[in-house]
Amino acid sequence: MFYFLPLTLTNIVFQLFYIKIFQESFKISRTFILLINFLMLQKGFLMYLNKGAEQEYEKRHNELWPELESTLKAYGISNYSIFLEEETNILFASYQCPTDFDENVLAKEKIVKKWWTFMSDIMSTNLDLSPKSKPLKQVFHLK
């Protein structure tokens, strides 16, 4: 946001100085964002929702537990989205995570196991109640 003052030499110098500081700040912020994006991976996978559970699945995710959300964020997970293919009830999930993210460590978290149990009646699951999932190979990404 720029405030333009009456045109005096002092005000012109001040405004140019302000604009220069803003430009430098923007460059630093953009560089930081690019660096963060470089250190993040984009992951995608499929999961399988039971027929007739579409509304309940969405309801439960709209009421995501704050403890689960904070745990995911603590592991560096961001931009997490889940999409439903309505004809097959296949879910496509995508998120960003740090390059050193280990899904097996997250899977040991008590809140994650509790969420799996909570969701197990509406999804295809493994014996440990984790959702059956299929990792996808990334073949394109536009930054």
Taking only Cα atoms into account, the Rg of the chain, rounded to an integer number of angstroms, comes to 23
Give CA 16 to chain center in angstroms: 38
Give the orientation angle of helix 110-119 with respect to helix 66-74, to 10 degrees: 130
Helices (H), the chain: 9-38, 54-62, 66-74, 103-106, 110-119
Instruction: Write the pLDDT tens digit of every residue in 56-65.
Output: 999 999 999 9
- Please tell me which residue in 20, 27, 61, 132 is annotated as part of the active site: 61
- The verdict on whether 141 is a catalytic residue reads no
Digit-coded pLDDT (tens) for 113-139? 999 999 999 999 999 999 999 999 999
CB atoms within 10 A of CB 99: 9
pLDDT averaged over every residue in the chain: 85
Mind listing the pLDDT tens digit of every residue in the chain (143 residues)? 444 445 555 555 555 565 666 566 656 566 555 555 557 899 999 999 999 999 999 999 999 999 999 999 999 999 999 999 999 999 999 999 999 999 999 999 999 999 999 999 999 999 999 999 999 999 998 87
CA distance 61 to 82: 10
- Find, among 106, 81, 107, 78, the residue nearest to 92 by Cα: 81
